[in-house]
Amino acid sequence: MKIILLVALSLVSILCKAQEHQKYNLGFEIHKEKKSLSDGWFIWGNYLLTIDSTAHSGEKSGKITSDLTGSSYGCIAYKLPANYTGTTIKLEGFMKIKNVEDGFAGLLLRVDVNGNSVAFDNMKSQNITGTQDWQKYTITLDYPKGAEEIYIAGILVGKGEAWFDDFILSIDGQNVQTLKEVEKELLKAQKDNEFDNGSLLTFSDLTSDNLDNLTLLGRVWGFLKYHHPEIAKGNYNWDYELFRFLPKYLEVKNNNERDLLIVDWINSLGEIKKCLDCKSTDANAKFNPDLKWIDDQFAPLKDKLLDIHKNRSQGKHYYIGMAQGVGNPDFKNENPYTNMSYPDDGFRLLSLFRYWNMIHYFFPYKHLMNEDWNNKLGQYIHLFINAKDETEYELTAVQLIGDIHDTHANLWGGHDKIREWKGTYYPPIHVRFIEDKLVVSDYYNENLQNVVGLKVGDIITKINDRPVDEIVKEKSKYYPASNVPTRLRDMSTDLLRSNMDEIEIEYISQDGKSQNKSLKLYPKDSLNIYQWYSQKNGKSYKLLDNNIGFDIRNYPSTFVPFSLGSFFVSTSTPFVKFTNGNVNNPGEFTFTENLEIPSQDKTYKGKLVVLVNELSQSQAEYTAMAFSAGDNTTIIGSTTAGADGNVSTIMLPGGLRTMISGIGVYYPNGEETQRIGIVPDIEVKPTIEGIRQGRDELLEKAIEIILKE
């Protein structure tokens, strides 16, 4: 017995040592830090990711659990450097699934070059669903030249649970755990780690002169980042160069000393060769770079900056690229500094400088903002520097993001404190703003209907003794959106959230009486929370007596503008054109040619009615544009979200992740869709009375039009 025990212990010891010596934790066994996932693994998507004891081998596996609606996806992912050569890359792994439906589960393999995916497979085509015990799966792809990053993952789309274990990645048949890496020459920017643990900067009380100087520095820093050839080559870690320059800059006594210091700084970056390919303007440009601020500077700073613009970087750039085939900006090599949940003074200032310049040079809708973006840099410096804690920093960041008025732009990751600020307990009711009132529209869990004590159509007027209108006015700046209906859409359910499990509300019942009650709140995972009604019903369509109608008060799960749109046009019909930014001339945006819906041999001759409202966003709006090109199409509804076009991700210090609409989307005649959304042919909005009667007034109007001779 003792001998058997000793042998068993020896085997465990050998296995543990073997695991420890592996370069990559692809079996989930190494879990040193007290966090939800094993070392090296991270979250993509919206589902719950955990480490589970149900393993194929060893003691741990990665597990993905969908939410109750199954309307999204989750990935448990691992990133490896592509420091290998070869022609074929293969991912093997074991997967177990339970009750997977309305989607699929699978392994995922992706290889990136210059931040773009150039080799990809997630096994979607294999349609793996249902309940299955551990099975081995394999993905094999061509290994691209110039590969920079490799991502492996387990993915779950739709409802269910999925476990993953024992991943093996090989190139040309050789396991990367033992495969010798090819040493790549690091760029100077990548070798610079002086400020990895902090900027070493603190700011005392800022005077008006300090603010003016920092505003100018933010402009110059961003201009140099995207124009100076030496920075474009990756010869400078431009974040850290800011920290090196700031101490001396903060001590300048006057404008002349300030300007000369900036000129000396620019000269220290290296000689700029004459650019023979730099063009000043494009004849097809809708917008040209805003250089007026440079013209307002005194010489020699003005001359120095104009000379850089005249001989600016061309082609490949360390910090910026454009997505292949689309043209939205790809912000590269932007360290999110995830080790700093609350960045110090210097990194908070960097956060503002980084974001402001990204928007200034590469956001296609800067001209549609309510206020001049040029003024925002100076307005926010003291807010970022004086943010006293992590919560205030996140709120300041989301307020700045809100100023660009883009529904795609919000904090989508790293904003733990904002989630806490909104409240960890949720209401058991779905509410919407109807006729400018906060109205109960549904119950998340039917079994709680009697417990809630509210009826569909009741109007909530006060929350914890504060008028709803007052709360909306106070919190609106923290809810980025292209227009008011979409902002109210996003605010609606959050207004009833709290960090207490009960709130006091005042409401007007269907008999017109004002009443008070305590509303019990629940943890999110105990409610069937949904945003789109189709998520609750499981269907986004209804058959209407052999007629046809498209309801896109949702986010389409499939891209159909061309495949379906072609059935509704008798001839090829233009429906959209885009604007793209320009890495070679930051701030310039030019129109593409019109895209057309091709016609089919058989055209649908009946009426096509498309339903839209504030839930119709991005791809839904693009789909509506395509269908509106049809011969007999009617758009019914109200203002859509007003955010279309492929998105670009932006990372900010503290691990904050946001996005922007990366390309401009226009009708063929040049009319804009951003902020405006899809303008319906017939405006129909739900009414409180209609909600109380259980009616869908948009659908009723659609049926009326379809049946009308």
CATH label, 419-526, candidates 2.60.40.10, 3.30.465.10, 2.30.42.10, 3.30.430.20: 2.30.42.10
- Where along the chain do its domains lie? 23-182, 208-405, 419-526, 533-707
Neighbours of 321 (CB within 10 A): 16
Confidence of residue 193 (pLDDT cuts 50, 70, 90): very high
Amino acid letter for position 221: W
Has residue 9 got a pLDDT over 60?
no
Question: What's the confidence (pLDDT) of residue 4?
Answer: 30
Question: In sequence order, which ranges of 324-433 are alpha helices (DSSP H)?
Answer: 345-362, 376-385, 390-402, 416-422
Question: What's the confidence (pLDDT) of residue 256?
Answer: 95
Say which range, 136-140, 228-232, 332-336, 397-401, has the weakest mean pLDDT: 332-336
- Pick from 691, 686, 612: nearest CA to 442: 691
The continuous run of DSSP H or E covering 292 comes out as helix 292-295
Say which range, 133-142, 399-408, 537-546, has the weakest mean pLDDT: 537-546
The continuous run of DSSP H or E covering 684 comes out as none
Confidence of residue 675 (pLDDT cuts 50, 70, 90): very high
* Cβ contacts of 314-317, under 8 Å, gap ≥ 24: 314/275, 314/277, 314/278, 314/584, 315/583, 315/584, 316/114, 316/232, 317/226, 317/232, 317/583
Bridge partners (DSSP) of residue 456 are: none
Give pTM, 2 decimals: 0.78
In terms of DSSP bridges, do strands 608-612 and 633-637 run parallel, antiparallel, or are they unpaired?
A: parallel
The fraction of the chain above a pLDDT of 90, given in percent, is 69
Has residue 215 got a pLDDT over 80?
yes
Confidence of residue 2 (pLDDT cuts 50, 70, 90): very low
Structure tokens at 347: 């990194």
Provide the sign of the torsion angle of the four alpha carbons 279, 280, 286, 291, taken in this order.
positive
The Cα–Cα gap between 318 and 516 comes to 59
Say which range, 123-132, 219-228, 428-437, 555-564, has the weakest mean pLDDT: 555-564
The end-to-end CA distance of the chain, in Å, is: 90
Structure tokens at 542: 């209804």
Please determine, looking at this structure, whether the domain spanning 533-707 carries the CATH number 3.90.226.10.
yes
Write the class of the CATH domain 23-182: mainly beta
Taking phi over 0 as left and psi of -120 to 50 as alpha, with beta for the rest, 234 belongs to left
Confidence of residue 558 (pLDDT cuts 50, 70, 90): low
- Pick from 542, 540, 596: nearest CA to 565: 596
Question: In sequence order, which ranges of 102-207 are alpha helices (DSSP H)?
Answer: 188-191
The continuous run of DSSP H or E covering 266 comes out as helix 255-267
**CA neighbours within 13 Å on the CB side: how many for 341?**
7
Q: How distant, in Å, are the alpha carbons of 93, 149, 181, 648 from that of 117?
A: 21, 9, 21, 14
Axis-axis angle for helices 484-492, 468-475 (nearest 10): 110
Question: What's the confidence (pLDDT) of residue 657?
Answer: 92
